[in-house]
Amino acid sequence: MLTCSRGKLTVMKTYTIAVLPGDFIGPEVIDATIEVLDVVAPSYNFKLEYTRLPFGGNALESHGHPLPEETKETCAASDAVLMGSAGGPVGDHPWNKVKRELRVESGILGIRKHLGLFANLRPVKVFEGLEHLSPLKTEVAKGTDMLIIRELTGGIYFGKPSHNTPDEGVSTDIYTRPEVERIARVAFETAKVRGGKVTSIDKANVLDVSQFWRDVVVGLHETEFPEVTLEHLYVDNAAMQIASNPRQFNTVVTSNLFGDILSDLAAVIPGSLGVLPSASLGGKVGLFEPVHGSAPDIAGKGLANPVGTMLSAAMMLRYGLKEHAAAETIEAAVQKALFENPTKDLGGSAGTAEFTKSVTSAVPVVATA
């Protein structure tokens, strides 16, 4: 598409976005986020074309599978995938009574595998003016801005042999050199634009696989990224440090199991899961989704906090589409809206629609600042 700006014809880029609204509040936070994206995109000379696809519990009901083939193939052919939230209530719910391979969790693992995603990025940031929401003391939480990079496709979750019998349970924690090198490379490259420091977390004093992890990370650092500062922490010490002094961390890289645990520990620091985004990278197409669940109890009430999804969309622009300036605009607009008109779960009065309006209204202000 050609556009005219100040008398000059320019080509407007078009990106295809596969949208997985998911379940319960998922479609609500997706709609709010698309509204923001469509306000931002024209200012940076690009256009987003969305294809909404069945996924999650609703797809299980309508298509007999949480990840239909149509969804898999369209996601793989798109420029990026934006997800709302998938799943339903825990306990006695029909979606929880199906075979394991038909559960929503299997759909999530399935789309990650299909897209070849091996790196999960989880930012943990305490926003100015919202420090009081953190369970940590304000002076401890203030200024926290870390990025946890978790390896997604290796380690003990996927190692073989793995079995559970009446007499023993066995899980195997295994990593190969290519698996460690590629996730470490993501961490070092990311750290170069985030302050130049990587903290690698392992348990090298006890586990051979962790010593291997550390050796590979050190080797890659020495040969390819000597300008980045590298430090190591044992996972138990890291958990204590995250809870007591989170500001010391910049970019963290760790294995699948440790990353799963530590990212959830760090997630409580901002005081609400509703503000946390994530990105899963590694293949040609990235997957971007909020950390929070589908919140069936508030679905349809206009109370869903869309911040996590909006910030996931900003990560999509930055990491998936390389539209860095547009990503910064969304982040600045969200931060301005959070400071001036926070959502109800953050102690304010704004519902989903009102908060979204605050963000879209802030876009022209922050874009020209």
Q: Which residues are part of the catalytic machinery? A: 157, 203, 236, 260, 264
Largest CA distance in the chain: 77
Show the DSSP H helices in the chain as ranges. 26-40, 57-63, 69-76, 104-115, 138-141, 177-191, 208-224, 235-244, 256-267, 307-315, 324-340, 352-367
DSSP labels for 119-168?
EEEEEEE--TT-GGGSSS-HHHHTT-EEEEEEE-SSGGGTEEEEEE-SS-
CA 291, CA 240: separation in Å to the nearest integer?
A: 22
Phi, psi angle pair for 136, to nearest 5°: -85, 160
Q: Name the β-bridge partners of 45.
A: none
